[in-house]
Amino acid sequence: MDHQFAKQLQTQMCAGTWNLLHNCLDLQPDESLLLVCEDSDLGWYDQKVAAIINTAAEKFGVAPTIIHVGQPGNEPVPDLIDAIAAHDCVIYLARVGDQSRFDEIAAGKRSVMCYLRDKNMLASPFCQTAYPAIRAFKQAIDDILVGARTIDITCPLGTSLSGSLPAGSKAGKSDVSVFRFPLGVPQPMTASYFSGQVAIADFLTPTGSRVYQPASVALSKTTYARISNGRITGFEGQADNVKSINDHYDHVAKQFGIDRDIVHS
């Protein structure tokens, strides 16, 4: 993008929107853009954010396509797949974007999963901080974790997990195929070399990659997952909480045909 044109655009939109479209997505005037917007009635995303991004993209000379989606499911949505394939860039203002964050992206195409949900978040310092700076900060944290002799993870409720990564491990340039905005999660580290215990309080929460019911399990007391080299060896705590967790793990593992005791990262 021409530098003078870029400077002119920057003055015409809020810092958060500029950071998303220019610094993160690197949107170009000759590219097509798809906005995937989740129904506001579901309580996650405010459609006003999509309107702001749409208006800002038009200043780039881009006429975005907007497609509305409902809550995430486990089956592909043909219309959405076709729309994604037909555009150079995709911005997800919807939870379905989280389900595809590990999928391969076709060469030359770019996608962003937005975790900002309303105008206040878009205007926050987190969204306004230059994306390259946040990315460099994340990379520095990843390098520290990978290079550490020992990693200890603790919390006030009693989490105590320790381990180290194999010699020669390297922090990857990207741990997911979809850009995240704002960016705030370090690279996942394999849990295969970690042992100890993890405290689970209030709720056993769901993953974002698959949908199942019930999505969460309420816990009346803190419960502890015992971990040995990346595998759950058991749960300790109040008997009814332990039973609820085990029943939930069995249910989800059976539904998706997965090993219930593996801790991936």
Q: What is the pLDDT of residues 103-118, one digit of tens each?
A: 666 777 899 999 999 9
| For range 231-253, the mean pLDDT | 97
Please tell me the predicted confidence (pLDDT) of residue 206.
81
pLDDT of 14 reads: 83
Query: Residue 209: what pLDDT?
Result: 76
CB atoms within 10 A of CB 120: 11
Cα gap 91→52, rounded to integer Å: 13
Query: Would the CA dihedral through 245, 250, 251, 253 be positive or negative?
Result: positive
On the question of pLDDT at 102 being above 60, the answer is no
CB 34 within 8 A of CB 84: yes
CA distance 88 to 108: 7
- Cβ burial, residue 49 (10 Å; 0-12/13-18/19+): buried
71: left (phi over 0), alpha (psi -120 to 50) or beta: beta
Among candidate residues 16, 68, 17, 20, the one with its CA nearest the CA of residue 42: 68
Structure tokens belonging to residue 174: 């990207």
pLDDT value at position 87? Answer: 96
Ranges in the chain annotated CATH 3.40.50: 3-128
Q: Is residue 257's pLDDT more than 60?
A: yes
Alpha-carbon distance 204 to 186, whole Å? 22
CATH class of 3-128: alpha beta
User: In the numeric block, which tokens belong to residue 30?
Assistant: 């000759």
Tokens encoding 51: 């309107």
Range of lowest pLDDT (22-26, 50-54, 74-78, 173-177): 173-177
Residue with tokens 């593996």: 262
Is the pLDDT reported for residue 252 higher than 80?
yes
CB–CB of 130/16 below 8 Å?
Answer: no
Per the prediction, the chain carries an average pLDDT of 89
Query: Residue 152 — very low, low, confident or very high, per pLDDT cuts 50/70/90?
Result: very high
The pLDDT of residue 88 is above 90: yes
pLDDT band, residue 260 (cuts 50/70/90):
very high
Q: What would the pLDDT profile of 169-221 be if each residue is shown by its tens digit?
A: 766 555 567 899 999 888 888 999 999 999 999 999 887 778 889 989 999 99
